[in-house]
Structures are given as structure tokens and as C-alpha cells.
Structure 1
């Protein structure tokens, strides 16, 4: 992982990354890698109680997972902050963005981890899993609307969406395929609409459920390099064993 991180370090030094994620593993490894590359990290942790209610065990697991991500950021030598975020609330999104930018500076990179499948909590159901996915897909678009204008004004930015599959259930895999088709269309459309002078590149990674976490983290950092800008609009698939295919 050292090669791509070292090449991107000068680009990310002094920049702020916003990561929207839940309590699965992708958010942590991505945050750690981007922090090691020099970025300050803000974590908008998906509030489990905002989607159909949540039991105590889910809220506790969410709080512990957020603490774990921020600990990883500090261990990487970077500044970080985080909080639980209701993606469906425009006020909550704006308040958190204002807080991040006042504490860490303008947001240059938006990473959204769309986690598909069951959380493993006792209160989880297929209906809640579906509602959670809808909330994440809508939230991904709203975060772009909120943060990309600032990136365009400053002349540099990255929007990276990661599809993470949590389990091998048939309904989960079907949802992942549908989500990938929707996000591919969104990513390609945004890239086509963007003017080159605005300096914002858009990427989709997924599904990442079977990939080596280190490969995923390395890829996210590499997509923040200047060399990757020409690939804007592309979908990169992380296959079993960490192979990458475009």
C-alpha cells in the first residue's frame, strides 16, 4: 500500500475528507489510509435510529464503531472528528458540514460507503435493510449537491462512492446489483456534466464485499491522485482476492 499512498501524500496534505459510512469495515480502512496520506478526516456516521428505529445494541455498536474509526485516524497522525448523521435531514447535513469546515477546513474529497445487507443486529429485518439502502442512495446524491459546488469553486475535488456488500443473501446481492446500476448512471452523468476546469473527478468502486481491505484503501487513495482525474466517471470493480478491474 505504501506506493500509492506516498505518491498521493502531497496532494492530500492539508486537505479535508468527508467519509459517510456505517459500522462495517470499509469506512475504517479508508479513513486510516487517507489519514496516512496527509488528509484531515471527518466521519459522518450513519445514525441507525434514523431508519425505522434501532435497538440499544445497534446504537451501542454504532458508537463503538465511530470511536474505532477516529482512533485509527489519530493513530495515522491526522486530525479527525465525527458524529452520527441523519442523512435524510438537510439541516443535519448542513450543520455537520459547517462544523467540519470550521474545524478542519474546506472539504475536498467526499467518500460515501453504501453498505448493503443486514447489520447482524437482533432488531434488523429485510424491510429495514431496504429502507437503509434507500436512505444511503438518497443521501449520497444530497451530499454531492451540498459539497461539490465548493470543490468546483476551489478547482479540485474527488467524489468516490464505494458499494460494500455485507452478506451473501440472495436479496442482498440483488440489491447490490440494482444499486450499482443506479450509482453507475449517477457517477457517469456527473462526470459528463463536469467541466474539466472545475477539477472534480467522480468514481464508483464496487461491490467491495470480498475484496482485501488493504486493496480497497489503496485504490481510494490512488483515485485522489492527479493521474486518476482522466478516468473520471469510471466504475472500478474490486474482485475476490483484491483484483481490480475497470
Structure 2
């Protein structure tokens, strides 16, 4: 029997991250569910374990280099050396440019871009040693530009550049790097947006669905399915790509 591979999923406590964590566990990987607070990972971890999988929850700020090193070391010690990394952790600090504060900018860049860099740098040590690995970065259709999201759009576009560079640098070691750019996905992040707009979440979803060619909003599982493929052995000749999971050809 081949040795079980281990995955790290950041922002894995809820939404897209939780869906990816559960999907990778069902694919047969051991999963470290990383989020800012360890207690928030409990439900995802418990569901994986109840289904017969192996998982642990880890609390860590992925923008903190020491916390990242500790999280990766704990994963290796408790589950085995991680060779799959899904950089999903993210926050929103939306505002128009003239209202956006320095902290709004720095916080979003820290979690999305610095976090993905730190995690990738730490995990690549195990990937290079194993001569096999997968990195999946969560970008967004907002990478193409979105009103009120100068910070988020820049970070998500930056992740695409990081992904392509990782593909070039890590490719000789059997490591692929790809990005998923979700469109409108039913998630807690969008619930907050609907609240800020002063409309019900149901009305928000209905309006969005009308603008999507497949006439529905995305679900976290739609993104998890793409992540599952990118993490598979079958995807070994696919690297440096950005796939828009958005229900149509336009973001």
C-alpha cells in the first residue's frame, strides 16, 4: 500500500476551505485544516474523522512566518510530511479607493499574498524532498478588477503571478502549481456583502444567478471539485494554469 499523502488547507474552517478539506479527505489524503483560531476548525475536522478520514485542526495566522513554520512542522509530526498545499485563507476589507485605509490594504495583502508566499516557501521543503507536490492557490474573478476591491483585486491578481512562478521554479522537482479563480460562490463572505448592501441574502443570490450563464450561483463544492483534480496524480502535466470556476466565460 502506498503511503498516504498529506494536505494543508488554509482558511479551512468554513466555506470553500471546508469544502476543499472534506473533498481532499474523501480523496484519501490526510488533511491539516488551518484557520486563524483552532476552535473554528472543529466541525470540519470532526466531519472528516467521522467519515473515516484523518485530520487535525491548527490555529495559525498565515501572515506570520513563525506561526506558519509551526503549523507545517505540526502537520508533518502528526499526519506526515505535507506535499499538497491549498492556499485558501482570505479576508475582505472592501472600500472605494479614496476611503480605503492603509490597514485595509495591508491586512488583505498580508492574509492573501504574504500568507500564500510563506506557506508555499515552508511546504516546498517537503515537496522537493519527496520529488512530488501540488500547490493550489485560490484567486478570484476579482483579479480582473472589481469596484471597491483595489486591495482584494490586487492580491488575487498577485496570486496568479505567484502561481505561475511557483510552477516554473518547482516544476523540476515534480511539483505543480495552479490557481482557481472562483466567481460568485454562495459563502459567508457574500452574506456579509449582502448585509452591507441592505438586502436579503436570497435576493442577492437571485440577482446574481440571472447574470451567470448557467443560471445559478456557485457552491463551495464546485471549487472543491477543481481543487481535487489539481491535487491528483492525473494532473501532473497541468501547471501554471488559472481556471475560472464562474459558471461562464466572463467574470
TM-score scaled by structure 2?
Answer: 0.73
Gaps of 5+ in 1: 1-9, 48-61, 120-124
Distance 1:158 1:187, change over 3 A: same
In structure 2, the gaps of 5 or more residues are 95-99, 186-217
Residue in 1 aligned with 2:23?
33
Q: 1:170 is matched with which residue: 129, 140, 147?
A: 147
Matches within 5 A, 1:33-182: 33-47=23-37, 63=39, 65-117=40-92, 129-136=104-111, 137-163=113-139, 170-172=147-149, 174-182=150-158
Deviates further, 65-74 or 231-240: 65-74
Identify the match of residue 194 of structure 1 among 160, 170, 187: 170
Whether 2:7 is the aligned partner of 1:17: answer yes
Cα 1:129–1:37, aligned 2, differ >3 Å: closer, same or farther?
farther
Q: Which has the larger radius of gyration?
A: 2
Shift of 1:163: 3.1
Match of 2:220 among 207, 210, 213: 213
Greater displacement, 150-159 / 15-24: 15-24
Q: Single out whichever of 133-142 and 88-97 deviates more from structure 2.
A: 88-97
Q: State the 4+ residue runs in structure 1 displaced beyond 6 angstroms.
A: none
Number of equivalenced pairs: 209
Structure 1 residues 208 and 113, CA, compared in 2 at 3 Å: closer, same or farther? farther
Q: Deviations over 1:44-72 (max 9, x none)?
A: 2125xxxxxxxxxxxxxx73x31122122
Moved more, 26-35 or 149-158: 149-158
8 Å contact 2:141–2:244 — kept in the other structure?
no
Q: Which has the higher strand share?
A: 1
Q: Distance in 2 between matches of 1:108 and 1:22?
A: 17
- 1:201–1:233: 8 Å Cα contact kept in structure 2? yes
Q: Closer, same or farther in 2 for the Cα pair 1:144/1:188, shift >3 Å?
A: same
TM-score with structure 1 length normalisation? 0.74
> Partner residue of 1:59?
none
